Amino acid sequence: MTDKVIRIFKIINAIQSNPGIMASELAIRCDVNIRTIYRDLEIISHFAPVTNEGRGTGYRFLGKFFLYPLDFSEQEALAFSLLPSVLNQDKIPPGFHTAYDKVMGTHLKEKSKQNGILENIADIIQMGKPAYRKESRNFLQPIIGAILEQRSIRAVYHSQSRNALTQREIDPYYLIPRDQRFYLIGYCHLKGAIRTFRISRFHQVEVTDRSFNKGGFNIKGYLKNTWSIDRGNKNIKFKVRFHPEIARYIKEEELFVHPRMSDEQDGSLLFEVTVNNEKEFTKWILQYGPNAEILEPASAREGLKVQLEQWMSLYQK
């Protein structure tokens, strides 16, 4: 059995290195008869797209398949690492241990390289920290790794609404940048539902061995009509007029919802959009001051008027 495993690895490496190699050449390299090679190729075909397109064309892999010496999952790496301990040491052929060391060495090198890439990403993406915390770790690296490997995280999270720390297990789906912050959208096992987490509110993050599946979750559908990050429960249609001086800047805003924009004769811009959170959209409008006028709905227009009056009374003291 051990001989067969080693021979299959040898066949795979030979086909990768020499696309179009003939079965007869494989038999010579592996020192077996050609019927054995055909049986081994049948086994390989169950997990790799090997083919010979016709008589005299030899064997090759389809598409981008490549066994580099490995793309091990954690479970596969553990199983392979235990291989020497379960084999009969007296029957292990010469060369097995050196081949085994090469495979495991490559796996560890690739894992280290992947971790290095994630560290670089985390260093490139600079984040602020909450004013109330003297120290704040950057958990982007483990979270990005967990998203890529589809593994759950175990975390300690500060819930701002209750001003309390909670322990949670989360299936991380997506990282969303909003307003110079990063948010994680994923399935929270504590709440039994999809939740949004602000990255800077994590106090601890540990990647677990438990894998997950997103199922039919659709991020575009989940965030439909969401202006920033907080999802509301009621869709509201806004109509806003922007002053000619800033109209061209509004047109180049990178938005996650799709407004309808039309140019007015005086150069102003009519901006119409449906959102599910009035507060978030109004907050965005306020940054443009008198250069943005809410036309509809009347309730939002009146609400902004009341807010401005409150501000005026504050600064008249």
- pLDDT the model gives residue 162: 80
310 membership: H or E segment, kind and range: helix 298-315
**Tokens describing residue 176:** 């969303």
Beta bridge partners of residue 296, listed in sequence order: 239
Backbone angles phi, psi at 178, to 5 degrees: -150, 130
Under DSSP, the state recorded for 21 is B
- pLDDT the model gives residue 84: 61
CB-based contact 132:98 (threshold 8 Å): no
- pLDDT the model gives residue 4: 76
Under DSSP, the state recorded for 20 is T
How far apart CA 90 and CA 243 sit, in angstroms, is 85
**Tokens describing residue 223:** 């965030």
- pLDDT the model gives residue 127: 63
**Tokens describing residue 175:** 């990282």
How far apart CA 203 and CA 153 sit, in angstroms, is 13
157 membership: H or E segment, kind and range: strand 151-159
Query: pLDDT tens, position by position, for the chain (317 residues)?
Result: 557 777 888 888 788 777 888 888 899 888 899 999 998 888 888 777 888 866 667 888 887 666 555 555 666 666 656 666 555 656 666 666 666 666 666 655 566 556 665 566 656 665 666 656 666 677 888 888 888 888 999 999 988 878 889 999 999 999 888 877 889 999 999 999 999 999 989 999 999 988 888 888 888 888 889 888 888 889 999 999 999 999 999 998 888 888 999 999 999 999 999 999 999 999 999 999 999 999 999 999 999 999 888 988 888 87
- E runs forming strands in 38-129: 50-51, 60-61
Under DSSP, the state recorded for 91 is G
CA distances for 298 relative to 268, 293, 302, 304, 309, angstroms: 20, 12, 6, 10, 17
155 membership: H or E segment, kind and range: strand 151-159
Ordered DSSP codes for 163-227: TEEEEEEEEEEEEEEETTEEEEEEEETTTTEEEEEEGGGEEEEEEEEEE---TT--HHHHTTT-S
**Tokens describing residue 200:** 């800077």
Neighbour order of strands in the sheet with 193-198: 193-198, 181-188, 164-178, 151-159, 202-211
- Angle (nearest 5°) at CA 179 between 173 and 184: 15
Backbone angles phi, psi at 177, to 5 degrees: -85, 130
